[in-house]
Amino acid sequence: MTANAIFTIPWRILPKWLVGDRLKILMYHSVSDNPRDPHAIAPDEFTQQMKILRSKRVVSLREGLDYLRDGCPLRNVYVITFDDALLDFYTTALPVLREFGYPVTMFVSTGMVAGKAVWDTFDKTKPTMSWKQLEECQGEQVVYGSHTVNHIRLQECSDAKLADELETSLIYLQKRLDVVIPALAYPGGYHNARVRLAARSVGYSCALGASSRWGNGPESDLFQLRRQSFIV
């Protein structure tokens, strides 16, 4: 471990992390056979991970937030989230999730539905789900949150653009779908104090970042919830 890495350890939460008393929010994007894609997990590996979760407690994001608020024990408690509403969620991940019956929160960029993942750094041609497919998933324990309208870096937006990306996406999701939670996943995980304040002002109840190994506890800032891509 380098000297710099030592400074990044959140010492205050380390004891709880060491005994596993943390809410772990898993983050997935693509479930597909493409080993070079940093945002993809192979279908077999995804199925294996879902099997491992059988020995844990998988709750919805809303329940997870209740657990944090109420100070419940968090050992082995997991939340499953997906970003980007890619078509392979519908074709590949959903059949596996159906088998296990886990609740899932999907974060959708409303301007990118039935299109392509043009923001993706690895493959800008990945197809996204249609509104009809998003509607269908609602009967399968899938609820929706916002991933903005255009999947852009929010800290680089003007105040007006920032408010529009946050507000329009949530309003549109609520209009088109029945099971929407006022939760936001920051595109690329990028956020700062201005972005977090804007999300709160627009009416979100929480917002999620990208990879961090430290999990969440009662001390967590609900607008900086940590997500991880591995199960421990």
Cβ-based nearer residue to Zn ion, 22 or 120: 120
Between 84 and 88, name the residue whose CB sits nearer to Zn ion.
84
**Cβ 147 to Zn ion shortest distance, Å:** 5
Of the pair 83, 88, the CB lying nearest Zn ion is at 83
Chain residues binding Zn ion by CB under 5 A are 83-84
Query: For residue 103, which of 75, 77, 132, 73 has the smallest C-alpha distance?
Result: 77
Nearer to Zn ion, 128 or 220 (CB): 128
Minimum CB–partner distance for residue 85 and Zn ion (Å): 9
Q: Minimum Å distance from CB 79 to Zn ion?
A: 17
Nearest residue to Zn ion, by Cβ distance, number only? 83
Least gap, CB of 184 to Zn ion (angstroms): 11
